[in-house]
Amino acid sequence: MKKFESEIYFTPKQAADYFNLSLSAVKNYIYAGKIRTLKTPGGHHRISKAAILAALGEAPPNSENMRDSIRYNLCRAILSLFNTFGNHAGYFIRHSQNVSRLSGITAKAMNMSASDISMVEMAGLLHDIGLVGVERHIVLKSGLITPEESGYIKMHCIAGSQMLSSISELADISDIVMQHHERPDGAGYPNGLSSAKIKEHSKIISVAEAYDAITAKSFYKTPYSKEKAIEELVRNSSAQFDAETVKAFIKAI
């Protein structure tokens, strides 16, 4: 750690240690452009303490709120990976933000704890992040997809979970992301779990994700009205969606 003109600068490793982050988290902030750095003549990054605090949007770390801020901002940094989808990035980012918001208000309507609400919001934000590991032409295909292409897309749950499990700050939401396409009737993926084995957080994201997917304007379909979307959720209750979660979702929105 060095001090230049009254400012404190860290190496990425020092910053990770000081703010109780993993080194990969700090690097994700840098690569996503969320933290500005100085570079030494040798090409090494040096990060000011002020820049990190500005990125986290908090005072120096000394509370659980700081940890939540770190986790949320890390989620937002990771979400920027959707920019690799070019002109379609906006759709995936908006969808993720909508699912996070809808999941949060549903969790509140279900009287979940503050910790669980936070987890479902973060998992909702990154539920589809595994799509960045699927070939772009498949993800962005506007016509019918083949069974083989469908298989590749279904792998996004596993890819997203693996990505998050490798980041210590977000490992606790990895299973939520893994299960967000499971169904109460056991016909979901990737593991065909039945209702009792599916996390409540994942059941919420499943409903929120479906609702936003069919009501939002996109590059590949015509959106449903709110009323028609609700009809679809109710019609598929207990099979595709958890019935109690659907009730809470409809009440919340």
CB-count exposure of residue 40 (10 Å: 0-12, 13-18, 19+): exposed
Question: Nearest-CA neighbor of 95 among 1, 180, 36?
Answer: 180
In 52-176, at which residue ranges do the beta strands (DSSP E only) sit?
none
In the prediction, which pLDDT does 55 show?
65
> Over its length of 253 residues, how does the chain's per-residue pLDDT go in tens digits?
444 444 678 888 888 777 667 777 778 777 777 777 887 777 788 888 777 766 665 433 333 456 777 788 889 889 999 999 998 898 899 999 999 999 999 999 999 998 999 999 999 999 999 999 999 999 998 888 999 999 999 999 999 999 999 998 899 999 999 999 999 999 999 999 999 999 999 999 999 999 999 998 765 567 889 999 999 999 999 999 999 999 999 999 8
Q: Where are the domains of the chain?
A: 1-62, 64-252
d(CA 215, CA 226): 7
In the prediction, which pLDDT does 60 show?
37
**What is the value of pTM for the model shown?**
0.76
d(CA 28, CA 53): 15
Architecture of domain 64-252: Orthogonal Bundle (1.10)
**Which residues lie below 8 Å from residue 177, measured CB to CB, with a gap of 6+?**
123, 126, 127, 129, 130, 157, 160, 161, 164, 202
CATH classification number, 1-62, choose in 1.10.3720.10, 1.10.1660.10, 3.40.50.2000, 3.40.50.300 = 1.10.1660.10
In the prediction, which pLDDT does 61 show?
36
**Over the chain, what is the mean pLDDT?**
86
In the prediction, which pLDDT does 47 show?
85
d(CA 147, CA 90): 27
For 21, the enclosing helix (H) or strand (E) is none
Strand order in the sheet with 2-4: 2-4, 7-10, 45-48, 38-39
Q: Is the peptide bond before 190 cis (omega within 30 degrees of 0)?
A: yes
Maximal C-alpha separation, the chain: 64
Question: Nearest-CA neighbor of 103 among 51, 176, 183?
Answer: 176
